[in-house]
Amino acid sequence: MKTLKNTILVAAIALATLITSCSKSDPAAAVTPASSTTDGFSWTENGGTTVKTATAFYVTSQNNLYAKNAAGVDIFEITTKNTIAGTYIIGDNFSVIQYSGVSPTYNPPTGKIIITSNTGGKMSGTFEGAGTSSGCPLTSIKGAFNNIPVQ
């Protein structure tokens, strides 16, 4: 009988310790997850891991997204049929990716442009292109644009 009382007492102490040790989280140990989407325009070349960035905006009257480098020079011109959220295949409906950040300019013959949203004067989406283009050293390009201004 004494052994049963000791066992119950030890179990009660263990349970009490477990409950109080998990009763609240330690704010210093809290981890804030990294944002999966950053506002702006970014891309990678030839499947690389180096992410490059630029300033971008979309001109509705031309159905073009323009991205400029730090010197203010246009380096991307991405054309879609319209501004409605959807997938636009390169070569269909006037959809084109033109990247002049290399010489000669890269115009991938295949790929797609995906507009995921266009609301409140901001546009978001992704793009990717692949294939060879007139002696250009690139064979693929992939990127994203998030909350860029629509003009």
Listed as own residue / partner, the contacts of 80-89 with beta carbons closer than 8 Å and 24 or more positions apart are 80/113, 80/115, 83/58, 83/115, 83/118, 83/123, 83/150, 84/115, 84/118, 85/115, 85/116, 85/117, 85/118, 85/125, 86/114, 86/115, 87/112, 87/113, 87/114, 88/112, 88/113, 88/114, 88/115
Q: Is the pLDDT of residue 24 over 60?
A: no
Q: What is the pLDDT of residue 19?
A: 41
Range of weakest confidence among 2-11, 47-56, 122-131: 2-11
pLDDT in tens, 103-133: 999 999 999 999 999 999 999 999 999 999 8
pLDDT in tens, 79-100: 998 899 999 999 887 899 999 9
The residue ranges of every structural domain in the chain are 53-149
Can you give the pTM of this predicted structure?
A: 0.73
Q: What average pLDDT does the structure give for the chain?
A: 81
